[in-house]
Structure 1
């Protein structure tokens, strides 16, 4: 198990009015969720807020409370099922929130209902989070003493193998109790395969010579891909390599350069398309690589269009701009760099970008930060990855577009030929009419000439007779 858990999801569950939203605020150290003392549920839908807690990226899911809510049991069950689906991938822990006052029949029914919704397998990933720690302090009572007051509560805690924690939600700002909760979770997770960190499949895209192969080596922490500074592409076909980064399996696919002058466009597109299948069932992230010192030209502007043409419009939802040669930034920050010509390109990828110094293979923090951003992107996409089906849909759409273009081109050619034939026919008719008119005029002049000759002959003969 890695020392640092990244992309941890915490799902708050429980009945109305026991402090779920306030607990989410305590975990994140800020007023992320609306919280009030009320018997009616403040949360009507799932609210998700994220942040860094003690060096770990944490996403907190606040759910509507069971009972005393305007939502029906059926609506609540649908909401819970949608949350459970979103937590299928990645590291997810469920926090069953119980207020440390009286463990009544209502509390027991809420616990039973949540256990029914979660199922046996997810209960292994569930902790009890007691709220009302401030009231226990006022009564000079420990949480263990409170648990021992109720035999039903003791049985519940035993069922969860003593996985419990207590919060005083009146404490504002970042607190030690949130750190202790994460440490407790981490300690419990060590040594169990049920909580392995999610694997990540990454595809590198970009022009020739931008440092794709070097970036792949940086992610892997070793020189797996051939990397040289040259204008012609070192990589002529896709290649894949695997490693373990911070406790998770990571695969990286290196691809030929876009606009490579040594390969035909059809060859480049066909080869890059293989990257989806090499990362089957589909990549979690496409890293579009640019050096920080590259001049922004029309070619750079066309890169996202080329990628969209190959992989479809959805591809940029799974894309992140990776700037290489971070060691050359010197006094200029990457934000200053992006505010220039690169801003629109970064915005096309949802504002996501990262910077690598490929000369420092031992700097694993830059790789962990990249994986953290990929985790966040996946979370924003509702989980999952770019799939083979998306690629096949994009290819089919592209083929249909090409067929439509060819059809329109054929229709245009036929229209041109038709117009040409019509013009030829018109010229032919006009020519024939002109020739007929000229011939008619010629015959008329011939008859006129004969008439004139006859007239002159008759006049001459008349003169001779007299």
Structure 2
């Protein structure tokens, strides 16, 4: 799986953000168990592999991050499952997310845990794009109305933001995933893979 045509991806985010569904969309199959909003369908870090869009795609889905999860360093196990490291880290945020101080604190704890270089590989993925459309909002308008902390987060990851509706038709998802893979491909060409987490694991 570690060829030029391989894409290794870690998905992080809060409980109920849509990480599992995004993983399934990327792989083009129902590999990860999905649950109802507000509940966690992922009890541990899980890896899936598939051939989709002409690419060998490896996805590691993680436990929804909370202060307790971060304290126990459980998220680091995701990096251990995807050696020598991911080409991209997708931070999933639902459109309905409330940008509380606790939310931004959790993201900062994650960055502190794995190292600031993770910003070079980070993509902000907004799920429930259909709700964005229902509000007649573009991504740019959404960003403009967001708090300063969110804008600073985007600035740190070179404004890589992407919106997707994981419940869309297969055709619509196919087009979306193709675009997301292009973003990951650019990161891979520029930065190779994120290997600096080794010092945190051993």
TM-score (norm 1): 0.39
Which one has the bigger helix percentage? 1
Q: Distance in 2 between matches of 1:253 and 1:202?
A: 6
SS at match of 1:343: helix
**Residues 321 and 353, structure 1, Cα contact 8 Å, conserved in 2:** yes
Give CA-to-partner distance per residue, 1:433-458, whole Å, 9 cap, x none.
Answer: xxxxxxxxxxxxxxxxxxxxxxxxxx
Q: Distance in 1 between matches of 2:70 and 2:84?
A: 26
2:141 to 329, 336, 352: 336
**Residues 221 and 361, structure 1, Cα contact 8 Å, conserved in 2:** no
Q: Distance in 2 between matches of 1:242 and 1:311?
A: 24
Q: CA RMSD in A?
A: 1.9
2:153 to 337, 341, 345: 345
**Residues 76 and 201, structure 2, Cα contact 8 Å, conserved in 1:** no
1:129-208 → structure 2 map (5 Å cutoff): 198-208=5-15
2:25 pairs with 1:238: no
- Number of aligned residue pairs: give it: 193
2:91 pairs with 1:288: yes
Distance 1:361-1:279 versus aligned 2 partners, 3 A rule: farther
**Unaligned 5+ residue runs, structure 2?**
none
Question: How big is the shift at 1:227?
Answer: 1.1
**Residue aligning to 1:302:** 105
Higher relative contact order (CA 8 A, sep 6+): 2
Q: Distance in 1 between matches of 2:7 and 2:16?
A: 25
**Residue aligning to 2:16:** 209
1:380 to 186, 190, 198: 190
Q: Distance in 1 between matches of 2:58 and 2:39?
A: 25
1:392 to 188, 198, 202: 198
Question: How big is the shift at 1:375?
Answer: 1.2
1:61-76 → structure 2 map (5 Å cutoff): none
Question: How big is the shift at 1:242?
Answer: 0.9
SS at match of 1:380: helix
**Unaligned 5+ residue runs, structure 1?**
1-88, 91-197, 397-466
Question: How big is the shift at 1:264?
Answer: 5.5
Distance 1:223-1:314 versus aligned 2 partners, 3 A rule: same
Distance 1:386-1:264 versus aligned 2 partners, 3 A rule: closer
Q: Which has the larger radius of gyration?
A: 1
2:30 to 223, 230, 233: 223
**Residues 217 and 361, structure 1, Cα contact 8 Å, conserved in 2:** no
**Residue aligning to 1:318:** 121
Q: Distance in 2 between matches of 1:204 and 1:309?
A: 17
Question: How big is the shift at 1:209?
Answer: 0.9
